[in-house]
Structure 1
Amino acid sequence: MVFAELLDKAGGAGLFQVLQVLTLILPSILMPSQMLLENFVAATPDHRCWAHMLDNGSEAPANLTPEALLRVSIPLGPSHRPHPCRRFRQPQWQLLDSNTTATNWSKAATEPCVDGWVYDRSTFTSTIVAEWELVCDNQGLKALAQSIFMAGILVGSMAWGLLSHRRFGRKLMLTWCMLQVALAGTSTVSAPNFLVYCGLRFLSAVGMAGIIMASAVLAVEWTVSRQRAVTMTTLGCSYSAGQMTLGGLAFALRDWRDLQLTVSTPFFAFFLISWWLPESACWLMVMGKPDQALQELKKVARINGHREAEKTLTVEVLMSSMEEEMASAKAHRSVFNLFRVPELRWRACSLFLVKFFGRRMTLASFQTLAGLCILANMLVPQDMQTLRVVFAVLGKGCFGIILNCMIIYKPELFPTSLRMTTDGFLQSAGRLGAVIGPLIRMTCQAVPLLPPILYGTAPIVASLIILLFLPETQGLPLPDTIEDLKNQRSAAARANRQKVVIKENTYF
Structure 2
Amino acid sequence: MQDYDEVTAFLGQWGHFQQSVFVLLCASVLPNGFGAFSLIFLTDVPSHHCLVPNINMTEDWHQAIIPVEVVNGKLELSRCRRYRLDVVRNLSAQGYVPGQDINLTNLEQEQCVDGWSYSKDVYHSTIVSEFDLVCTEEWKQPFTSTIYFLGVLVGSFFSGQLSDRFGRKPVLFVTMAIQTVFTFAQIFSPSWAVFCILLFISGLGQISNYVSAFVLGTEIFTGNVRVLFSSMGVCLAFAFGFMMLPLFAYFLRDWKSLLLGLSVPGLLYIPLWWLIPESPRWLLSQGRVEEAEDIVKYAAKKNKVEPPQVIFEDFNLPADKTQAKELHSIFSLLRTTNIRNTSFILCLVWFSLSTGYFGLSLNTSRLHADPFISCFISAAVEVPAYISSWLALRYLRRQLSVICVLLLGGVSLYFIQLVPRGLSYLSIALEMLGKFGITTGTALMFAYTAELYPTVVRNTATGMCTTVSRVGSCIAPFLLKLGEYFKYLPYIILGTLAVVSAFAAVFLPESFGQPLPQTIEQMHKRERIKCSFITRKGHSKPVTLFESQL
| TM-score of the superposed pair, with normalisation by structure 1 | 0.86
Aligned equivalent of 1:56: none
Taking the aligned partners of 1:378 and 1:48, their CA distance within structure 2 comes to 32
TM-superposed deviation, 1:282: 0.8
Aligned equivalent of 2:413: 374
Aligned equivalent of 2:504: 465
Matched AA of 1:7: T
Cα gap change, 1:395 to 1:260, in 2 (>3 Å): same
Asked if 2 retains the 8 angstrom alpha-carbon contact of 1:95 and 1:102, the reply is no
Cα gap change, 1:199 to 1:440, in 2 (>3 Å): closer
Aligned equivalent of 1:196: 194
TM-superposed deviation, 1:119: 1.4
Cα deviation code 1:373-394 (max 9, x no counterpart) = 1222233333332332332222
Q: Helix, strand or coil: the match of 1:161?
A: helix
Aligned equivalent of 2:244: 245
- Measured on the aligned residues, the alpha-carbon RMSD in Å equals 2.9
Asked if 1 retains the 8 angstrom alpha-carbon contact of 2:30 and 2:238, the reply is yes
Aligned equivalent of 2:443: 404
Cα gap change, 1:285 to 1:343, in 2 (>3 Å): farther
TM-superposed deviation, 1:97: 4.7
Tell me, yes or no, if structure 1 residue 71 matches structure 2 residue 63.
Answer: yes
TM-superposed deviation, 1:472: 2.2
Aligned equivalent of 2:222: 224
Cα deviation code 1:422-459 (max 9, x no counterpart) = 11111111111223445555666788776544422322
Equivalent pairs counted in the alignment come to 482
Cα gap change, 1:384 to 1:276, in 2 (>3 Å): same
Taking the aligned partners of 1:12 and 1:501, their CA distance within structure 2 comes to 40
Taking the aligned partners of 2:314 and 2:430, their CA distance within structure 1 comes to 56
Taking the aligned partners of 2:129 and 2:296, their CA distance within structure 1 comes to 53
Aligned equivalent of 1:340: 335
Deviates more, 1:11-20 or 1:360-369: 11-20
Q: Helix, strand or coil: the match of 2:117?
A: strand
Asked if 1 retains the 8 angstrom alpha-carbon contact of 2:34 and 2:243, the reply is no
TM-superposed deviation, 1:474: 2.1
TM-superposed deviation, 1:343: 4.1
Asked if 2 retains the 8 angstrom alpha-carbon contact of 1:417 and 1:481, the reply is yes
1:89-128 counterparts in 2 under 5 A?
A: 89-90=85-86, 91=89, 92-93=91-92, 96-97=97-98, 99-100=100-101, 103-106=104-107, 109-128=108-127
Matched AA of 2:509: P
Cα deviation code 1:182-229 (max 9, x no counterpart) = 110111111122111111111110011320210110010011122222
TM-superposed deviation, 1:72: 5.0
Q: Helix, strand or coil: the match of 1:121?
A: coil
Cα gap change, 1:388 to 1:292, in 2 (>3 Å): same
The gaps in structure 1 that reach 5 residues or longer are 54-58
1:176-325 counterparts in 2 under 5 A?
A: 176-232=174-230, 233-306=232-305, 308-309=306-307, 311-314=308-311, 316=313, 318-319=315-316
1:149-164 counterparts in 2 under 5 A?
A: 149-164=148-163
The gaps in structure 2 that reach 5 residues or longer are 355-388, 390-397, 541-550
Asked if 2 retains the 8 angstrom alpha-carbon contact of 1:164 and 1:420, the reply is yes
Deviates more, 1:447-456 or 1:83-92: 447-456
Tell me, yes or no, if structure 1 residue 22 matches structure 2 residue 18.
Answer: no
Cα gap change, 1:8 to 1:248, in 2 (>3 Å): same
TM-superposed deviation, 1:268: 2.0
Taking the aligned partners of 2:276 and 2:472, their CA distance within structure 1 comes to 33
Taking the aligned partners of 2:538 and 2:326, their CA distance within structure 1 comes to 39
Taking the aligned partners of 1:243 and 1:174, their CA distance within structure 2 comes to 20
Matched AA of 1:71: Q
Deviates more, 1:372-381 or 1:38-47: 372-381
TM-superposed deviation, 1:334: 4.1
Taking the aligned partners of 1:165 and 1:317, their CA distance within structure 2 comes to 22
Aligned equivalent of 2:376: none
Taking the aligned partners of 1:266 and 1:452, their CA distance within structure 2 comes to 36
Tell me, yes or no, if structure 1 residue 385 matches structure 2 residue 424.
Answer: yes
Identity %: 27
Asked if 2 retains the 8 angstrom alpha-carbon contact of 1:10 and 1:304, the reply is yes
Tell me, yes or no, if structure 1 residue 47 matches structure 2 residue 48.
Answer: yes
TM-superposed deviation, 1:330: 4.2
Q: 2:78 aligns with which of 58, 75, 83?
A: 83
1:422-433 counterparts in 2 under 5 A?
A: 422-433=461-472
Aligned equivalent of 1:483: 521
Q: Helix, strand or coil: the match of 2:512?
A: coil
Taking the aligned partners of 1:392 and 1:165, their CA distance within structure 2 comes to 38
Q: Helix, strand or coil: the match of 1:48?
A: strand
Cα gap change, 1:304 to 1:332, in 2 (>3 Å): same
Deviates more, 1:131-140 or 1:371-380: 371-380
Taking the aligned partners of 1:150 and 1:409, their CA distance within structure 2 comes to 23
Matched AA of 1:388: S
TM-superposed deviation, 1:489: 5.6
Taking the aligned partners of 1:342 and 1:78, their CA distance within structure 2 comes to 56
Deviates more, 1:9-18 or 1:281-290: 9-18
Cα gap change, 1:282 to 1:400, in 2 (>3 Å): same
TM-superposed deviation, 1:273: 1.9
Taking the aligned partners of 1:265 and 1:222, their CA distance within structure 2 comes to 29
Taking the aligned partners of 1:503 and 1:304, their CA distance within structure 2 comes to 50
Aligned equivalent of 2:373: none
Taking the aligned partners of 1:139 and 1:74, their CA distance within structure 2 comes to 19
Cα gap change, 1:246 to 1:441, in 2 (>3 Å): closer
Asked if 2 retains the 8 angstrom alpha-carbon contact of 1:176 and 1:271, the reply is no
Q: Helix, strand or coil: the match of 1:459?
A: helix
Deviates more, 1:88-97 or 1:155-164: 88-97
Cα gap change, 1:6 to 1:101, in 2 (>3 Å): farther
Taking the aligned partners of 1:315 and 1:276, their CA distance within structure 2 comes to 24
Tell me, yes or no, if structure 1 residue 474 matches structure 2 residue 512.
Answer: yes
